[in-house]
Amino acid sequence: MDFTLTPEQQSFRDEVRGWLKNNVSESWVARLRQSSDVPRPEVYDLLRDWQRQMYEAGFVGLTWPKEYGGRSLTFMEEMILHEEMALAKAPPVLNILAIGMAGPTIIAYGTEEQKKRYPPKMLSCEEVWCQGYSEPNSGSDLASLSTRAVKDGEHYVVNGQKVWTSLAHVADWMMLLARTDADAPKHKGITYFLLDMHSPGVTVKPLRQLTGDAEFNEVYFDNVRVHESQILGGLNNGWAVGMTTLMYERLALGFGLQVRLRIALDGLVELARNTTKNGAPVTKDPVMRQKLAQLWIDTEVFKYTGARAITKLLKGELPGPEASAGKMMWVDGHQRVQDLAMEIEGSYSQLTKGSAWAVAEGLWQHTFLRSRANSIEGGTTEIQKNIIGERVLGLPKG
């Protein structure tokens, strides 16, 4: 990939840089930064406003076609935007599942009506989306899902349960995978629906996590009626459509989380600079220096691996199984950043928010605990390894 910017790309970079400089205000971003890589409930409203501001300035959905609310730019501009956001320590947008997954999937598979209806409100954050894939007995083996959608005139009647549904408690819409043909082989009887979360019969019950936050939920469907026009990509074609969403998810993770990793690493270096051990700054300790330098190297490698995936997209190809490598690099890098933060804090790492002696008001304790979920969400590390083994290396099926 050629990293030399064209004059147009340079002026785009200057435009983004200037805008971020004027709009990333230190006071409230300091608060948002406490939110780690995943938005915490207490900052949802701020992030909603932040996304709207970014959208109005033209910086959300850069690669989406103009007619559906985007700017029809390339992934090169998307990469520039993410790089600048990392430098400015800008917060993430709230509607991450719509921008990273639902939107690109609707643009790829939607009818003209669906493409006009949904993407613009995703970008402006007027409508928040969640992803209804996992069920109590179907996670890694997603194709075994058992939520049913049975045809009744022009509608489908949905019954069943989803679990671990992030943002469902604030979502207006769900990407729903449901079984529409119980007799077909398991991958062939699934349909992808765009489900209105405000429909009668939808119940959302928050689940509290290790961190104490309730950022995901159980979602129950009790005779929920969905019109057939809400099917995306055709009846019983949900597996192909759903997998496209997951490819975009891993790609978006690669893009967006590269920025979050960089911001987390910068924070870690700051923590090391401000911490002394045995009378000397931690940054003077040769072992700590090695660990910090290795993390910096890995963060750069992550960035360039992302750039390789972009080269593919610039050639007009869809994101492929190699996106799994980006997901794994994020997980490994981010968990090591968090582990090292605990090591740097030493015995203070035991003190959480609420203790007068907690370092940085317990921020690192929260992000450390939250980072444990990274190797599960978006497909577990073992599953990513299976994908790489089978589909990149051509090894026999596990």
317 is catalytic: no
Looking at the Cβ atoms of 20 and 177, the one nearer to ligand FAD is 177
Map the footprint of ligand FAD across residues 373-392, applying CB under 6 A: 373, 376-377, 379-380, 382-383, 386
Map the footprint of ligand FAD across residues 18-77, applying CB under 6 A: none
User: Token digits for 78?
Assistant: 């998307």
Looking at the Cβ atoms of 243 and 269, the one nearer to ligand FAD is 243
Give the residue at shortest CB distance from ligand FAD: 139
Are 92 and 147 in contact, with CB atoms under 8 Å apart? no
# residues near ligand FAD by CB under 6 A: 20
Residue 371 binds ligand FAD (CB under 6 A)? no
- CA-closest candidate to residue 104, choices 135, 70, 152: 70
Looking at the Cβ atoms of 74 and 146, the one nearer to ligand FAD is 146
Map the footprint of ligand FAD across residues 125-164, applying CB under 6 A: 130-134, 139-140, 164
Catalytic residue from among 249, 300, 382, 390 = 249
Neighbouring-strand partners of residue 164: none
Q: How far is Cα 233 from Cα 191, in angstroms, rounded to an integer?
A: 8
Residue 396 binds ligand FAD (CB under 6 A)? no
Looking at the Cβ atoms of 105 and 165, the one nearer to ligand FAD is 165
Residue 332 vs residues 90, 298, 345, 372, 373: alpha-carbon distances, Å: 23, 9, 20, 10, 12
**How many Cβ atoms from other residues are within 10 Å of residue 22's Cβ?**
9
Residue 241 vs residues 127, 181, 380: alpha-carbon distances, Å: 21, 16, 20
Looking at the Cβ atoms of 108 and 143, the one nearer to ligand FAD is 143
Rounded least distance, CB 318 to ligand FAD, Å: 21
Q: How far is Cα 330 from Cα 253, in angstroms, rounded to an integer?
A: 8
Rounded least distance, CB 255 to ligand FAD, Å: 18
Map the footprint of ligand FAD across residues 188-217, applying CB under 6 A: 216
Looking at the Cβ atoms of 118 and 133, the one nearer to ligand FAD is 133
Rounded least distance, CB 375 to ligand FAD, Å: 8
- Convert residues 91-130 into a mask of x (bound to ligand FAD by CB under 6 A) and - (unbound): ---------------------------------------x
Residue 195 vs residues 49, 126, 175, 207, 230: alpha-carbon distances, Å: 24, 16, 7, 21, 7
Residue 398 binds ligand FAD (CB under 6 A)? yes
Rounded least distance, CB 162 to ligand FAD, Å: 6
Rounded least distance, CB 216 to ligand FAD, Å: 5
Q: How far is Cα 194 from Cα 227, in angstroms, rounded to an integer?
A: 9
Rounded least distance, CB 386 to ligand FAD, Å: 5
Rounded least distance, CB 43 to ligand FAD, Å: 17
Looking at the Cβ atoms of 137 and 223, the one nearer to ligand FAD is 137
- Which residues are tagged catalytic? 249
List interacting residues with ligand FAD (CB under 6 A).
130-134, 139-140, 164-166, 216, 373, 376-377, 379-380, 382-383, 386, 398
